[in-house]
Amino acid sequence: MSGPAYGVLRPVTPLASVLLAENPSPMTLEGTNTWVLRAPGEEACVVVDPGEEDEEHLRRVAAHGPVALVLLTHRHHDHAGGARRFAELTGAPVRALDPSLVLGSEALGDGDVVSAAGVELRVVATPGHTSDSLSFLLDGPGAGPAVLTGDTILGRGTTVISHPDGALGPYLGSLRRLADLPSGTAVLPGHGPELPDAPAVAAEYLAHREERLQQVRSALEVLGPDATPRQVVELVYADVDRSLWPAAELSVRAQLDHLRGC
């Protein structure tokens, strides 16, 4: 079985191709998906999440330009850490919800529409994984509906609520927004493989979160209402690889805040 195709631009839809960054880890799966968007026949492209400050990866992405615009789904370094350097390489402006990440343009907001390289992207605020998480609804000629989800929905597994910046209540609301998208809207995630149906995956994520919340409630009944996040992790995530426990503890902190009304 062949390994991940690092450094190779892989077409996914008529409008979207992906270039996988070589930064695999338990948190990033095979690595960060850098998305290159353009309508057929267009020379320029839009790049979503250039990734870490990895010169080799950034130059590989830049080689598929010219780049008209860079968009960031959120502030985490594996998505946005290389944005400034990528802007230097390409001369392209960078847009994000967080104004501190914006270069040569203006910040994005929920409902904004961005048009470049023959495609149109509608901004959907999807906070929860982080407070500044965005998704982008992609539209253009010759393609069905698709949504770039960053880390809000992954291609495999479930995402971490990055407490205290992330929060469970907003995340559940974001999943409900994605669950309301038209059936058959493809998921173009920040990590892992593309998925065929965003509403179905969002519904599965919502069910998973409710199951985890119930497990945390049950754990508090055993451990007492003042149990620490680590104690809850040891009970609820006993069957999960311990290398993932620090990430699980972030999500548990968010779950406890949610249950305690913090």
Task: Determine the Cα–Cα distance for residues 48 and 157; give it in Å rounded to an integer.
Answer: 21
28-32, 84-88, 237-241, range with the lowest pLDDT: 237-241
183 against 261, higher pLDDT: 183
Mean pLDDT of 135-139: 98
Contacts of 40 (CB under 8 A, 6+ apart): 14, 118, 141, 142
DSSP letter for each residue of 123-139: EEE--SSSTT-EEEEEE
Q: Indicate the average pLDDT of the chain.
A: 95
pLDDT at residue 3 tops 80: no
pLDDT at residue 111 tops 50: yes
> pTM (2 decimals)?
0.94
* Calculated CA dihedral for residues 207, 238, 126, 62, nearest 10 degrees: -130
Predicted confidence band of residue 241 (pLDDT cuts 50, 70, 90): confident
**DSSP one-letter code for 62:** H
pLDDT in tens, 19-45: 999 999 988 999 999 999 999 999 999
pLDDT at residue 261 tops 90: no
pLDDT at residue 2 tops 70: no
108-112, 148-152, 253-257, range with the lowest pLDDT: 253-257
